[in-house]
């Protein structure tokens, strides 16, 4: 297996720098478009999923990850859909995790937590040190409404298992006007008591979900102002590789992250690309442009893939164009968030 010295690009390959000079060091890999929940801001109630022959095998994902690491990717996050519904997902984590300390700084996971109780210890043993868990409400009825039928108790069980396994946990909460805005401050207090960090996310216009996002859009500038009435927020230099900007919260050890694709665009220092489970590289979450690695890989191997990575770097746009409101289209792009990966 090919490895590189930590912090260096394989000398036989070019570093991943886009046309605007941004260094791409973070790859998010969706391992499946399937999920066992149907969150209203993410998916339609009735989804059509990809046939298995269109989805990359775990071995193909691992080999492509090897190549990206050789090109200078330092962080890999596995996403979905829900990554833990993919059979043998821990084998993939273990396979990618062999690069830790030899080019890769970390392999992480974003999950809805419903199957975390079954996998937390194995993930830790495979090299995962921190995870993001999506949790938009702790109220059982409200959680069931947002997820279209989910049971919040399975997520709580997963969080307890993750903590027992020694995993660092960050809760991801999409701020939804009229649905969970009254839970945001209580969620922050709860996370502080549990030893978790909390990141709040503005809802993004991705895919047709059957819901009017305008009704539920809650600007995080407004949320931060409401938190300020109770706790002073101090900006931190702490970063985890993604778009969240973190704040210390007066009187708490929990850090508060804010992801603000609509109120405070963060594209100028974007360091990310996304690979879908069918091998498409999307250079930006908010654009349809992509390159197809799967076809090239299956026909010509890794040598055929490298020129496409270079093409993706050249085509990476300056920024997304997310808008929500009466004069905006229902979705910026047709594909659902679950297709591209969080």
Select from 276, 244, 148, 133 the least CA-distant residue to 195: 133
Structure tokens belonging to residue 268: 């100028």
| Adjacency order of strands within the sheet including 197-202 | 233-235, 245-249, 255-259, 197-202, 168-175, 130-134, 106-111, 75-79, 26-30, 272-275, 280-282, 290-292
- How far apart, in whole angstroms, are the C-alpha atoms of residue 205 and residue 287? 11
Of 249 and 328, more confident: 249
Q: Is 191 annotated as a binding residue?
A: no
Of 336 and 131, more confident: 131
Q: Is 284 annotated as a binding residue?
A: yes
* Percent helix, strand and coil across the chain, each to the nearest 5: 35, 20, 45
Over residues 28-67, the pLDDT tens digits come to 999 999 999 998 887 778 888 889 999 999 999 999 999 9
Q: Is 28 annotated as a binding residue?
A: yes
CATH architecture of 26-340: Alpha-Beta Barrel (3.20)
Q: Is the pLDDT of residue 97 over 50?
A: yes
Q: Is 57 annotated as a binding residue?
A: no
Percent of the chain with pLDDT over 90: 68
- How far apart, in whole angstroms, are the C-alpha atoms of residue 342 and residue 338? 7
pLDDT band at 230 (very low <50, low <70, confident <90, very high): very high
Q: Is 98 annotated as a binding residue?
A: no
pLDDT of residue 266: 63
Structure tokens belonging to residue 293: 């690695």
Q: Is 41 annotated as a binding residue?
A: yes
Q: Is 170 annotated as a binding residue?
A: yes
Structure tokens belonging to residue 11: 């000398």
Q: Is 40 annotated as a binding residue?
A: no
pTM of the model: 0.88
pLDDT of residue 213: 60
Spell out the domain ranges in the chain: 26-340
Q: Is 87 annotated as a binding residue?
A: no
pLDDT band at 2 (very low <50, low <70, confident <90, very high): very low
Over residues 305-324, the pLDDT tens digits come to 999 999 999 988 765 555 55
Q: Is 115 annotated as a binding residue?
A: no
- How far apart, in whole angstroms, are the C-alpha atoms of residue 12 and residue 70? 9
Q: Is 246 annotated as a binding residue?
A: no
Q: Is 77 annotated as a binding residue?
A: yes
pLDDT, mean over the chain = 87
Q: Is 316 annotated as a binding residue?
A: no
Over residues 33-42, the pLDDT tens digits come to 999 999 888 7
Q: Is 267 annotated as a binding residue?
A: yes
């Amino acid at each position: 297996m090919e490895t590189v010295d930590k912090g260096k690009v394989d000398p036989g390959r070019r570093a991943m720098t886009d046309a605007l000079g941004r260094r791409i060091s973070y790859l998010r890999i969706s391992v499946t478009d399937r999920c066992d929940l149907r969150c209203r801001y993410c998916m339609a109630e009735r989804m059509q999923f990809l046939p298995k022959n269109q989805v990359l095998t775990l071995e193909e994902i691992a080999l492509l990850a090897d190549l990206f690491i050789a090109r200078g990717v330092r962080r890999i996050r596995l996403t979905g859909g829900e990554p833990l519904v993919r059979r043998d997902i821990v084998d993939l984590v273990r396979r990618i995790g062999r690069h830790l300390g030899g080019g890769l700084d970390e392999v992480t996971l974003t999950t809805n937590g419903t199957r975390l109780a079954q996998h937390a210890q194995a993930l830790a043993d495979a090299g995962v040190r921190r995870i993001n868990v999506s949790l938009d409400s702790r109220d059982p009825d409200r959680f069931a409404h947002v997820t279209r039928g989910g049971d919040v108790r399975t997520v709580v069980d997963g969080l307890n298992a993750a903590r027992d396994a020694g995993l660092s946990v960050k809760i991801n909460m999409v701020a939804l006007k009229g649905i969970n805005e009254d839970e945001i401050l209580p969620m922050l207090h709860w996370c502080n008591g549990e030893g978790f960090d909390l990141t709040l996310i503005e809802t993004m216009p991705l895919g047709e979900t059957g819901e009017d996002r305008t009704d539920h859009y809650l600007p995080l500038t407004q949320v931060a102002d409401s938190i300020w009435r109770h706790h002073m927020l101090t900006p931190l230099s702490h970063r985890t590789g993604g778009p969240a900007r973190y704040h210390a919260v007066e009187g708490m050890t929990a850090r508060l992250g804010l992801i603000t694709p609509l109120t405070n665009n963060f594209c100028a220092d974007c360091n990310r690309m996304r690979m879908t489970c069918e091998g498409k590289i999307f250079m930006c979450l908010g654009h349809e442009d992509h390159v197809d690695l799967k076809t090239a890989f299956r026909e010509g191997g890794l040598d055929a893939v490298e020129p496409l990575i270079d093409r993706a770097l050249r085509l990476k746009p300056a920024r997304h164009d997310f808008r929500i409101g009466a004069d905006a289209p229902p979705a910026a792009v047709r594909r659902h968030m679950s297709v591209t990966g969080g």
